[in-house]
Structure 1
């Protein structure tokens, strides 16, 4: 049963309030004069967070029945967007023209398996790497169908080892890079391996 509370002006559905998307609200059409003087915590934009309204506030507590004249979702707060740092050029990767060869290799994998592989590991994080880790992450059911009764550790599975070794060698021939190619099951990959993943197989284009 939903809990409600009656105010002098209306009936407040507490469950609906709690489930609402977090937002920043203000009493004025512009600025945040009322918010500067009230006890509620303020967001970077100066408005009040709906998730942290002070129950004693005569301006923003829903029991006060006051009009709210401006608001925006917390996820797209203009102040937060304005304060976001400029994206920095990535220092990861293998350089040119190796990147072009790596994407061409990725397209071969995508054409064969129906999924783009990813550049992961040290080559996905910076310019210093011993080998170039490429991972094809398959949905659990497709991985299980390709490698029924898959053994752990991975290299104990003869089919998995042969396929990964063969594609690694193909990658070395195609790209000239020390490719370490492995096929992973989605659930295990997401649990055991963090870090950046850069999709391979993209058609690169530069503006004219």
Structure 2
């Protein structure tokens, strides 16, 4: 394993980068603080100047991941405007893109067991990305009669769960996770079925 080292005295970020590398390689609970220190090119004692333990280091990885994820979601939502449907679909695609581009962050966020409210900063960052999807769901569901309209939080949670399922089963390259369809097509078809069920897009002719 290649030591990444740190530059310009930014040891804290070097340790985060080392942890992300190890998470991708071994999973979010498959490495020790000593391994993170070795990968960063410092002594184990140096880690404790910035993090109390492995859990706090992973939480920092998750925090940075949620911040990146929220930025991507906000960009996708804005890019899809002015169409509420296009904006909504763009946020689903952004989920897949994030999981592929930032696998270490993704695993720290969703597979490490780190509570989303482990710190106020982490809770705020996670809430920002969730709010984007809820905003997209709310805009799209305005066309549904109020008595049949699902709460935006439920609407967005359904799409979030669908996106997460596609990522976990078919977009992470795990053994046995082969699919006869590209993950993007699976997600688009699933969202389409869901939206047709709500009467938000017309059935295929």
TM-score higher than 0.5: no
Based on CA coordinates, which of the two structures has the bigger radius of gyration?
1
Higher strand share: 1
TM-score (norm 1): 0.24
